[in-house]
Amino acid sequence: MKARFVFLIKYFLFWLVFFAIARLLFMVYQLSQTSQIFLSDWYSIFIRGAWMDISLIGYILLLSGLFLSALSFSNGKWIMAIFKYYTISLLAIFSFIVVSDLELYRNWGFRVDATPLFFLKTPGEAFASTPILIVAMLLVIWVLFLLVSYWSYQKWVVRKDTIIEKGRWWFIPAFIFFSALMIIPIRGNFGIAPMNPGKVYYSQNMYCNHAALNSVWNMIYSLSKSGSMNKKYPDYIDKEKAKTIAAELMLDNGTSLNVLKSNRPNVVIILLESFTSKVIEPLGGLKGVTPNFNELSKQGILFNHVFASGDRSDKGIVATVSGFPAQSTKSIIKYPLKSQKLPTISGVFDSLGYRTTFYYGGNPDFANIRSYLYSAKFRNMITQDDFPKSYRNSKWGVHDEYVFERLIADCDTANGAFFKMCFTLTSHEPFEIPSRPKFDSSDEQTKFINAIHYTDSCIGVFFNEARTKEWYKNTLFILIADHGHRYPGGDINYSLNKFKIPMLWLGGAVSRDSLVIQKMGSQVDLAATLLCQIGVKSNQFKFSKNLLSNGCKPYAYYVFNDGFGFVADSASVIFDHTSKRFILKEGSDIERVSDEAFSYLSYYQDIFLRL
């Protein structure tokens, strides 16, 4: 038993060194960019990179443990023979990926993923842009890297004096248990967020983040996601007809209502976790759940026909920040190759000289949010790690009251114009609150309502204090939900009611109060609406319309698992891709709205697949 575990320890260290050398090889090959980073970045790249390396090694050791369990009654000769061919196979594949990545990154600017496989159908074109000498050089590097790696394995892991005797029956459950334990390094932590590319992102310099990635892990991750992400739905409507209708949907020849006192206000977006319209009284929701939001609605501009683009936070963040519609089955935020190409309102404000900061009391590695936020030009990120450990008394991290306190403090010390985004979390399942519940009951729905009421109380405290500050006079606050919720009422997953959310503009920078905007829209429309107010063109936000314009068409598009809803003034339709049929058709102009829905889908899908 001891000899087998010693072998596994050596095997672990061998792969750890292998991937460290692979990362060093990558940085040497990209010397022009490596020479521009700081010495501290070298440390961060290798330490964070090792985190991802260990995740991949966890998979290797999981299979190794199963081998040792199956070979419990075999002698060392058989065990070493199995591991010899196992290791050679992995080294050949991994070395090829590592070496291919060297030139691919130099040309494409992103680490190797599933993309090259899409070009294998036309290998002539795939290799046409690469000089034959480069190809030959890479082949030589691959062979040398493979040979040196295998020689190292033979010399340091499988030494001639290694003796592994036959095992006993209890070796079988022991090594099965060992394999099961590998789920810990594979996931990368004990928390709720499994390993993803964002785990190793730490810098505003994207090259440093890319260098920290493990190319083999990144390739496997991309392959596991690529199928569903690039899924193409059928053309439910003639393509030419769809283009014409989509162009009409995007057209806006009207004039915009100006609601700001200044075209360069500070901007604070508060993204409210699960704040469905069903709990907002001015939007027809339950009474007494959000008294502070209700009162604030009288002091600003309430948009009362806004829908969430998707049903999860990772979709809502992208829809809000990038003005890009959510995807039915997956979220673009998990695919940096696509998400980093999206425009962002934070990026626009960054280019205008604003200081951009994102606040979240949880772990931004969840759902790969961190990597998206870096590419969105958020120059600073305040997360659970920036609060005392005693504040992390929730499953998700730090409760909202402490995050709002930090937001106020940072606004007090801000130098120059700022763009801040604060994402609340307490109203997420399991609805833990640090205060006495307002409503008596232990059922899930009441817990949700109590959690919403708690966050609403934090909002009230925040604005009561913010109004006393000098910076409040030139600040626009935008409160909008990341998505709706099935509670209260237990709505079915595709229900229109589930996706309806609030959006409220207020603050010293707002020139109107007690104004209600009836225009139909969604999260994606925030970008164009906001940018128009500060005199910046929003053409890059292709799906976003100005809800304060009298010339844009009123509609909203949202998605659920393998289906979508399309809401207009005259009718609403809900369509299921799996059964290829409408779940709901209601209103007075069904045929026209159905054509608009399919045209929007066609237009969106064409753009998404080209990203």
Q: Is 435 helix (H, G, I), strand (E, B) or coil?
A: coil
Using CA atoms, how far residue 2 sits from 165, 560, 561, in Å, is 10, 52, 50
Domain boundaries, the chain: 2-229, 267-552, 556-611
Q: Which amino acid is at 64?
A: S
Residue 587 has pLDDT above 70, yes or no: yes
Closest to 274 (Cα-Cα) out of 87, 443, 474, 486 = 486
Contact yes or no for 197/221 (Cβ under 8 A): yes
Residue 121 has pLDDT above 60, yes or no: no
Cα separation of 376 and 364, whole Å?
Answer: 14
- E strands present in 370-473: 380-382, 418-423
Cα separation of 199 and 100, whole Å?
Answer: 23
DSSP H stretches of helix in 71-203:
76-108, 123-128, 132-152, 171-181, 183-187
pLDDT in tens, 229-242: 667 888 999 999 99
pLDDT score at 122:
47
- Fold exhibited by the domain 267-552: Alkaline Phosphatase, subunit A (3.40.720)
pLDDT in tens, 375-407: 999 999 999 999 999 998 888 899 999 999 999
Q: Which residue has the tokens 């009251």?
A: 401
DSSP-assigned letter for residue 256: B
The pLDDT-based confidence of 132 (bands split at 50, 70, 90) is confident
Residue 216 has pLDDT above 80, yes or no: yes
Closest to 217 (Cα-Cα) out of 195, 201, 202, 185 = 195
Beta bridge partners of 573: 566, 585
The pLDDT-based confidence of 611 (bands split at 50, 70, 90) is confident
pLDDT in tens, 252-268: 999 999 999 999 999 99
468, two tokens: 């006393």
pLDDT score at 125:
47
pLDDT in tens, 285-338: 999 999 999 999 999 999 999 999 999 999 999 999 999 999 988 889 988 889
Least confident interval from 43-47, 190-194, 242-246, 533-537: 190-194
442, two tokens: 């232990």
285, two tokens: 């929701």
Mean pLDDT of the chain: 92
Please state, as a whole number, how many other Cβ atoms lie within 10 Å of the Cβ of residue 313.
24
Higher pLDDT pick, 49 / 193: 49
428, two tokens: 């997420």
pLDDT in tens, 154-179: 998 887 656 667 767 778 898 899 99
pLDDT score at 233:
87
